[in-house]
Structure 1
Amino acid sequence: MADNYSFKNISLQKGKIAIVTGANVGLGKETCSFFLEKKIKVIMACRNPEKAEKAKEELQKRHSDGEIEIMEIDLADLDSVSSFTRSFHLKYDRLDFLINNAGVMFPPYQTTVQGFELQFGVNYLAHFKLTSLLYDLLSKTEGSRVVTLSSLAHAWGDIYFDDLNFLRGYDKRKAYSQSKLACLMFAYELQRRIDKKGNLSPSSLAAHPGISSTNLGRHLPGFVQSVFNTIGPVVFNSSRQGAEPIVRAALDPNGKGGEYYGPSGLKEYSGKPVKVDSNDISKDKFKANRLWDVSEQLTNTSFKP
């Protein structure tokens, strides 16, 4: 069947509201730019207000009539996640798009405020809690969508239930893979639970950017960054291209809950946004249920879609 998706053909979405985490750089900033082009009001959910303000100024230059608001959130602190959602509820009575984008990759071993390994805590657990605390608004907003960012790295590992925080030896590559696999499993499981209840909103989808030129690789060794910076612009997606699967997952009128979007090219490294598949572990319903239960316990959250 022909793929007729075109961002240009998507109608204006005036009156709709999107939250984008990690909106001040890379994929997050470009996702905001796409949304502003379609007249969606953007909430830039960012940790650093100064950096967010600079990004907002840049976005405002591109989209002079765009509606942009900065709201502070530190995904390495679940109390900050709770505070963010309380503030959002006081200002807004709808939420059309929640883009769980922010992430860290390959940092030295660090923990969040609550003691979770940083990649698992920021990339996954914080977004699990954020989605749960905003679910009431999502569920009453017709046609709303949650888009959770995964990665090609989801296929590198597993969910290490016996040592989620890598206390018995830190492998940053495995830890990153676990966090992105968890994100993908969460996106699928959320849709299964929505379907089981027979709800029409929200829809839960996932996306990955392929290999994209963003600052996410700032913790890579210097020589790797040098090689990447040399060949990256030729071989891989720009930040704007990397954001296209996210935007399609959010805005494609033919998109459906449970779908996963990524680039169309060789090994999904780059290319136009299309529906893609994922590995068997990501679709393991038993593991997904177990991960959900553990996530509720770790985040002190009761999430019942």
Structure 2
Amino acid sequence: MTATISRPTLSNWETSDIPDLTGKTALITGANSGLGYSTAKALAEKNAHVIVACRSLEKATQSIKRLRASNSEGIFSPLELDLSDLNNVVEVQPKIFDDFENLDLLINNAGIMHPPKTLSAQGYEIQFAVNHLAHMLLTLKLLPIIEKKEESRIVTVTSGAQFFGKVGWKNLRAEKYYNKWESYSNSKLANVMFALELNENLKHKNILSLAAHPGIAKTNLFTAQKPKPSPIETFSMELFSPIFQSAEMGALPQLFAATSPEARGGDHYGPKFNFRGYPKLSPTSPFANNKKERKNLWEKSLEILNNFL
């Protein structure tokens, strides 16, 4: 077992507790809505230069326009990043290296949830491809610029769905069958396993890798589902809506992981009451604590990504 739940954290930690980030640069994937937007807003308010990475340049530009409406002094840069195509991730690297001297924070936030069976540009199940593979590739491609600063941080956003995920990774192209719930859970399990294994690999470089989950937050992950949720799914969301928290609250665990002096590499943060609440150290899936399984996922992922590295 990891030691991520043995240390207390600040009670009722809020964005006002984020230290001054003047001179720091942060890249956030999926920064145009939900958790990503709230994270971009909070970091910019603490004077970080925020790279707003979105699927299209139009989405990034629109997001920055909204962000500047409440923070005219904020420093933002748009970045087009289509995580459904690993070639696009490769193309982004030189742009970032040309435009920025260093990268203090990388927040692997973007994600998709419960789509109909869809394959990525490289033929992998889309949730596993976007949520895990593309973020792993992005992280590895950006390590040279991340390691320029000591104690830079990489935060990978997972979900409580990790506890329903399975290891094995033998159906990555959905060639045997497709279950949208299972695929999503597997991708979120992969997220936290990647974050923990990455931290082990980077200890000698003094880079921190952490994971965070938002609990159940009201974001466009639910409303963006296509086709629309079934009547049963819609009823369930309405039934449990009172326990959902805002995107702003849901973003606190990843903000804590990204900025708090108390956060340590290998930590996993989530809401105090699991579904909602202020940040606290949270347990991870037993599979994520299995070093052999983490190494297995890492090696299988590298086999896929090898041609893009």
Structures share fold, TM-score greater than 0.5:
yes
**CA-CA distance at 1:4 after TM superposition:** 2.8
The yes-or-no answer on 1:215 pairing with 2:241 is no
Is the Cα–Cα contact under 8 Å of residues 132 and 301 in structure 1 kept in the other structure?
Answer: no
Residue number among 175, 190, 199 corresponding to 1:182 in the alignment: 190
- For the structure 1 residues 225 and 14, does the alpha-carbon distance in structure 2 shift closer, same or farther, using more than 3 Å as the test? farther
Is the Cα–Cα contact under 8 Å of residues 90 and 308 in structure 2 kept in the other structure?
Answer: no
The yes-or-no answer on 1:47 pairing with 2:52 is no
Q: Which residue of 2 aligns with 1:203?
A: 208
Residue number among 288, 291, 300 corresponding to 1:282 in the alignment: 288
- For the structure 1 residues 79 and 302, does the alpha-carbon distance in structure 2 shift closer, same or farther, using more than 3 Å as the test? closer
Structure 2 gap segments, 5+ residues each: 1-6
Equivalent pairs: percent with the same residue? 37
Question: Alignment length, in residue pairs?
Answer: 297
**CA-CA distance at 1:236 after TM superposition:** 1.1
Q: Which residue of 2 aligns with 1:245?
A: 253
Is the Cα–Cα contact under 8 Å of residues 47 and 74 in structure 1 kept in the other structure?
Answer: yes
Counterpart-to-counterpart distance in 2, 1:98 and 1:53: 19
Counterpart-to-counterpart distance in 2, 1:229 and 1:206: 28
Q: Quick check: which one's helix share is greater?
A: 1
**CA-CA distance at 1:37 after TM superposition:** 1.2
**Deviation digits for residues 74-93 of structure 1, max 9, x if unmatched?**
00001100111110001112
Q: Which residue of 1 aligns with 2:237?
A: 228
In structure 2, the residue corresponding to 1:45 is in which secondary structure?
A: strand
How large is the RMSD of aligned CA atoms in angstroms? 1.7
Of stretches 135-144 and 238-247 in structure 1, the one that deviates more from structure 2 is 135-144
Counterpart-to-counterpart distance in 2, 1:167 and 1:113: 15
**CA-CA distance at 1:292 after TM superposition:** 0.8
Q: Which residue of 2 aligns with 1:12?
A: 20
Q: Which structure 2 residues correspond to residues 1-305 of structure 1 after superposition, within 5 A?
A: 3-4=9-10, 6=13, 7-195=15-203, 198-200=204-206, 202-217=207-222, 218-219=224-225, 221-223=229-231, 224-225=233-234, 228=237, 232=241, 234-265=242-273, 268-300=274-306
Counterpart-to-counterpart distance in 2, 1:22 and 1:2: 30
Structure 1 gap segments, 5+ residues each: none
- For the structure 1 residues 274 and 133, does the alpha-carbon distance in structure 2 shift closer, same or farther, using more than 3 Å as the test? same
Is the Cα–Cα contact under 8 Å of residues 9 and 281 in structure 2 kept in the other structure?
Answer: no
In structure 2, the residue corresponding to 1:90 is in which secondary structure?
A: helix
- Could you tell me the TM-score, scaled by structure 2's length? 0.92
Moved beyond 6 Å, runs of 4+: none
Is the Cα–Cα contact under 8 Å of residues 22 and 101 in structure 1 kept in the other structure?
Answer: yes
**Deviation digits for residues 25-79 of structure 1, max 9, x if unmatched?**
1110000011011100100111122222222111111111000111101000011
Q: Which structure is higher in RCO with an 8 Å CA cutoff and minimum separation 6?
A: 2
**Deviation digits for residues 144-202 of structure 1, max 9, x if unmatched?**
1000011000011212322222210101111111111011000000111123xx222x1
In structure 2, the residue corresponding to 1:209 is in which secondary structure?
A: coil
